[in-house]
């Protein structure tokens, strides 16, 4: 029997002690499975629904990341060119 099925039987009102004997699983283990199941369900219910703007936000975040990378590259090039203007060899 799967954990989920055992937990559902407990949640439907089956006696945990009898079920633990039937399955050969300690009652404490059944209780732990039930707590994990309920915690997962609660977390899933708290999750917010996707909004129409979510895709646009992701696209804009990616764009900001690209622009930051380009900015860093340009800053490095400017630093190298300034060094070259002062007589230092240009690195590639």
pLDDT per position as a tens digit, 10-38:
999 999 999 999 999 999 999 999 999 99
Q: pLDDT confidence of 91, banded at 50, 70, 90?
A: low
73 vs 65: CA distance, rounded Å? 12
Residue 45, pLDDT above cutoff 70: yes
pTM: 0.50
Residue 89 confidence (pLDDT): 60
Mean pLDDT for the stretch of residues 50-70:
92
Cα–Cα distances in Å, from 29 out to 32, 35, 62?
Answer: 5, 10, 45
Residue 90, pLDDT above cutoff 70: no
Domain ranges in the chain are: 3-46, 52-92
Report DSSP letters for 46-88, one per residue: HSPPP-TTHHHHHHHHHHHHHHHHHHHHHHHHHHHHHHHHTTP
Residue 44 confidence (pLDDT): 86
HSE, side-chain direction, 13 A CA sphere, residue 62: 6
Cα–Cα distances in Å, from 38 out to 14, 30, 46, 66?
Answer: 16, 12, 12, 41
């Amino acid at each position: 029997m799967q954990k989920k099925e055992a937990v559902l039987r407990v949640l439907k009102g089956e006696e945990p002690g009898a079920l633990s004997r039937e399955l050969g699983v300690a009652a404490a283990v059944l209780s732990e499975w039930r707590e994990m199941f309920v915690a997962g369900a609660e977390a899933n219910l708290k999750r917010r629904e996707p909004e129409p703007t979510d895709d646009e936000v992701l696209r804009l975040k990616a764009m900001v990341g690209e622009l930051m990378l380009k900015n860093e590259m340009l800053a490095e090039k400017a630093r190298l060119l300034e060094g070259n203007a002062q007589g230092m060899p240009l690195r590639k």
